Amino acid sequence: SQQGEEDPQALSIQEGENATMNCSYKTSINNLQWYRQNSGRGLVHLILIRSNEREKHSGRLRVTLDTSKKSSSLLITASRAADTASYFCATGWDNQGGKLIFGQGTELSVKP
């Protein structure tokens, strides 16, 4: 079964606006990652946040993690048309042999 669930499934915004995507998970985790996928291409790692971190930044990306709510959010500030892609969270947890399990993804469309 899927560990992470992204919300919303699809998001459409104008260039310059901020985009926020959320990920909820079921089991306590050690780490959570976010990946990006351009249409039909391989996924690319964006950022990793550890369970003892609450917030992490990378360029225009800001990731938060709330372990009490078992949720994470990815914020893309000042979005660009080139940010159009699908975004996935991925988690791993103890007793799962090092597997990384992906959510269903949020499809982001940024209109020029």
Q: Using CB under 8 A as the criterion, which residues of the chain lie in contact with other proteins when the complex forms?
A: 1-2, 9, 29-33, 35, 40-45, 48, 50, 88, 90-94, 96-105
Between the two ends of the chain, the Cα-to-Cα distance in Å is 37
Least Å from the CB of residue 42 to other proteins: 3
Least Å from the CB of residue 16 to other proteins: 29
Q: Specify the residue, 42 or 112, whose C-beta has the smaller distance to other proteins.
A: 42
Q: Specify the residue, 14 or 38, whose C-beta has the smaller distance to other proteins.
A: 38
Q: Specify the residue, 98 or 112, whose C-beta has the smaller distance to other proteins.
A: 98
Report the distance separating Cα 88 and Cα 34, nearest Å.
6
Helix (H, G, I), strand (E, B) or coil at 26: coil
Burial 79-103 (b: 16+ CB within 10 A, else e): beeebbbbbbbbbbbeeeeeeebbb
Which two three-digit tokens encode residue 85? 């892609």
| Centroid of chain to Cα 65 | 11
Q: Specify the residue, 83 or 107, whose C-beta has the smaller distance to other proteins.
A: 107
Least Å from the CB of residue 65 to other proteins: 12
